[in-house]
Amino acid sequence: QSVLSAWDDLSDLVMVRWNKSLEWSPWNCILLTKDEAAAHLNLTSIEEGYERSFIHKIKHKHILAKNYFSQIPVLASFILDDPEIDEIRWKHHSDTTPKIIESQRPPP
């Protein structure tokens, strides 16, 4: 069904690139009605046409797609070299280096 309207008539649905400046991929597409797709492709920027919460929802689904498709060896090479994924990994990276905690006694 359309990610915008939940329309589910298959004859009226198309997959389009989310970011039209990037190649089509499972992590750069959305399912829309033909009319919604035409409007989407006419946007000069994604931020111009959609609310931040919707953009976040789509980006989250694209991350899930990348995680899923990274399990397929032929697609993994495309995902591993993705700067956006690297940025996300860096933001959510847990520092696992050992910490040295020094005991500090109160002054006498």
Domain ranges for the chain: 10-94
pTM: 0.66
Interior/surface letters 14-49, b for 16+ CB within 10 angstroms, e for the rest: bebbbeeeeeebebbbbbbbeebbeebeeeeeeeee
**Is 34 within 8 Å of 9 (Cβ atoms)?**
no
3-state secondary structure of 52: helix
Q: Per-residue confidence of the chain (108 residues) as pLDDT tens digits?
A: 999 999 999 999 999 999 999 888 888 999 999 999 999 999 999 998 999 999 999 999 998 888 887 777 766 666 666 666 556 556 655 555 555 656 566 666
Tell me if 15 sits within 8 A of 29, measured CB to CB.
yes
CA 34: distance to chain centroid?
A: 22
CA distance 46 to 17: 11
Other C-beta atoms closer than 10 Å to the C-beta of 2 total: 19
